[in-house]
Amino acid sequence: MNLILFGPPGSGKGTQSKFIQSQYQLPKLSTGEQIRTAIRENTEIGQIVKNTVEQGNLISDQLVTKMISQAFTSGQFSKGFILDGFPRTLNQAKSLDKILEENNIRLDFVIQLVVSDESIIKRISGRFICISCNENYNEFFRKTKVDGICDKCRSKQFVKRDDDKVDVIKKRLNAYNSETAPLIPYYKNMGILREIDGMESIKNVKNNVENLLKSA
């Protein structure tokens, strides 16, 4: 099964992709995770994209497409995959079409998680992460059971990502709405776009995604 998870930043793509990975044993390629790892490890690519990410801008099509192409030519997705965070522009989508064609791969579904901008801002701006165990929390939706103490490892040290500030989030949403939203009609015309209400609970979204995949 070959899938793309599609939606604005903070729509739950990462969470749902983990569920799909576990259920169907599919490898996931998240360009966002790759980029954050590169920044954290201060690699050559990380140094190039660090300022772009922190300002809420999209990475260049050329650089992201190069990362994707290398992943596919390695053969790690020959038995199926989940793409999370790619493509983000029409140019990237068309480049992906070529990459898939060259590797004789067909897309099964593009799953769009639909979430309002207002909810996205709360989801992202409220996020904070335990430094010790990387557990995720949210000031609005999922606080720690004891204020200031991680539920999982009892650490008292937390961090917020630099790109989780409200002004940066709004810029990212503007970039999504102008650059990425045109992918909706593109994949709808291909007959593979499926919409899932991302405003429901994580469990309900998971169930709706599972029902969609079972119908395939």
Q: What are phi and psi for residue 153, nearest 5 degrees?
A: -120, 0
Pairing state between β 109-114 and 193-197: parallel
- Spans of all domains in the chain: 2-116+167-214
Residue 197's CB is within 10 A of a number of other CB atoms, namely 11
The residue type at 82: I
Instruction: State how far the Cα of 137 lies from the Cα of 143, in Å rounded to an integer.
Output: 6
For residue 168, name the pLDDT band (cuts at 50, 70, 90).
Answer: confident
Say what the pTM is: 0.76
Predicted confidence (pLDDT) at residue 156 exceeds the cutoff of 80:
yes
Q: Is the dihedral of CA 111, 57, 173, 10 positive or negative?
A: positive
Predicted confidence (pLDDT) at residue 50 exceeds the cutoff of 80:
yes
Give the CATH number of domain 2-116+167-214: 3.40.50.300
Helices (H), the chain: 13-24, 31-40, 44-54, 61-73, 90-102, 117-125, 166-175, 183-189, 202-214
- How confident is the model over 101-144, as pLDDT tens digits? 988 889 999 999 999 999 999 888 998 999 999 898 999 888 99
